[in-house]
Amino acid sequence: MLHRGDMRALLPEDGGDYDVLVAGAGPAGFGAALAASRLGARTLLLEARGFPGGIAATSLWMPMNRLFKDGTSRGGVHELLVRRLQRFGPAACRPGKVTWTDGDGLHVHPEYLKEAMLELLEEARCSYRLYSPVVDAEVEEGTLRAVYAATPEGRQRFTARVFIDCTGDGALSFAAGAKTAVGREGDGRTMPITLGFALGNVDEERLFAFYDQKNTELSLSDVVDRGREKGYLMSNWYSFDRTTVPGVVSVNNGGLPGEDGALNALHPADRTFAHRAGLRLALDFVQLAHELPIPGLEHCALLETGASVGVRETRRVRCDYVVTLEDAKNGARFPDVVARRYGAVDQAGLSDGEGERPAMQSGYDFPYRALLVSGLEGLLVAGRCGSYTHMGLAAGKSMGNMMAIGQAAGAAAACACALERTPRALHYKEVQIALTVLGAVL
């Protein structure tokens, strides 16, 4: 049973002081907060939206890839989340698809995901607050000392020994004055912004036979061409995911055509436009599906669009090491490995580079140095706003990998607090030991 009284200790009403403060509760922030609190650090997780999960929650059943490695457990926070989801039964999750980008994942019902994440955080005695965007930072002699969260009652100040930026946009690092970069080197273009949507009343067998190009004359590119001829707003590509609800599928797409990475989700006007256009894309797709018709979608209905647009790429924060495409291609091994990245190099349709689709053989190491924000003490960064080149980000950006990097940051932060040192003063072996304690498989 949930009682407000029991939850009071976990839901701070005002600012306060913590060992570890994590900003952003997407896959990376969830991994960081759960790891830090399970290692005994007094941890606070601040999330801007009204739910945890980040893109995993807003992308409506898109597979959370790389929750496993070759079908076996990655241990640590991955195993805890997977077990909790599976405990809810088939309503909560089902095996993910396997394509050149996808694998070792689960399609997860967004509401069960939110519940599973909150339960695990509560059991680890992790304090958290939703509706609490971090908007400012206080730096003293090169050390991050405090952050401010915006609330209807005004700004609240939180102090901590170690902060972890998992906001996806690098919002905390930016506020603290860290060096950041956006988009492709050279022209700043970013991977597409997508408003996912879910369709009901779908004949799944016929839709997926069409999607897999079995017994069908029509191709997906014909659908896009026919939609454009009819004057509908069409994306360059669409993909379909099964869900945990019979007759319901989730639709991913390449966002707004013609923009090719020119929309920058850091600009509120661009993000607003992407959401506006994403809504029209969804409605037009349904209309077209009825008219053509698209096999299996003759009688489909639009159930919902995501609670917000899915942003694949904005700021990347500069750390003591920058992860590159070469690391992925070479299967890099580092002595200070704290996480592993598996899967594909995927720019989600942004032109050039995509054609190459270099395979990532058996994965590569993510080094501890890539968590330490350059020029600042007391601040780590994890997730999609981490320290990569543009293609380095594309090389293994799946949710399971981001959760692994978050877990590493949480372990390092807890370790630094326990040993009363800054994260930069830790020996990487100390972080690796903490990861072993969590049961993480590197």
CA distance 79 to 353: 34
Q: For the purposes of burial, counting CB atoms within 10 Å of the CB of 226, is it exposed (0-12), middle (13-18) or buried (19 or more)? A: middle
- Binding to ligand FAD (CB under 6 A) within 42-71 occurs at 46-49, 54-56, 59, 62-65
- Which of 26, 75, 183, 261 lies at the binding interface for ligand FAD (CB under 6 A)? 26
The strand ranges marked E within 210-279 are 238-242, 249-253
Nearest distance in Å: CB 377, ligand FAD: 21
Q: Is 23 in the site for ligand FAD (CB under 6 A)?
A: yes
Six-digit token pair at 120?
């695990």
The bridge status of strand 379-381 relative to strand 154-165 is parallel
Residue 53 or 296 having the CB closest to ligand FAD: 53
Q: Is 169 in the site for ligand FAD (CB under 6 A)?
A: yes
What helix, strand, coil percent values describe the chain, rounded to 5? 35, 25, 45
Q: Is 312 in the site for ligand FAD (CB under 6 A)?
A: yes
Nearest distance in Å: CB 124, ligand FAD: 18
Residue 112 or 430 having the CB closest to ligand FAD: 112
Q: Is 194 in the site for ligand FAD (CB under 6 A)?
A: yes
Cα 208 to Cα 90, 225, 302, 318, 420: the distances in Å are 20, 20, 18, 42, 55
Query: If binding means CB under 6 A, how many residues of this protein chain bind ligand FAD?
Result: 38
Q: Is 310 in the site for ligand FAD (CB under 6 A)?
A: yes
Six-digit token pair at 400?
């399971």
- Binding to ligand FAD (CB under 6 A) within 259-298 occurs at none
Q: Is 20 in the site for ligand FAD (CB under 6 A)?
A: no
Which residues 6+ apart lie within 8 Å of 418 measured at CB? 39, 40, 41
CA distance 165 to 160: 13
Q: Which amino acid is at 98?
A: V
Q: Is 29 in the site for ligand FAD (CB under 6 A)?
A: yes
Nearest distance in Å: CB 307, ligand FAD: 10
- Which of 402, 409, 411, 435 lies at the binding interface for ligand FAD (CB under 6 A)? 402
Q: Is 397 in the site for ligand FAD (CB under 6 A)?
A: yes
Residue 82 or 311 having the CB closest to ligand FAD: 311
**What angle is formed at CA 309 by the lines to CA 111 and CA 152, rounded to 5 degrees?**
75
Cα 44 to Cα 70, 203, 292, 323, 431: the distances in Å are 33, 44, 51, 28, 20
Residue 56 or 438 having the CB closest to ligand FAD: 56
- Which of 166, 251, 412, 440 lies at the binding interface for ligand FAD (CB under 6 A)? 166
- Which of 133, 177, 247, 353 lies at the binding interface for ligand FAD (CB under 6 A)? 133
DSSP at 335 = T
Catalog residues that contact ligand FAD under the rule CB under 6 A.
23-29, 46-49, 54-56, 59, 62-65, 133-134, 166-169, 171, 194, 196, 252, 310-312, 383-384, 397-399, 402
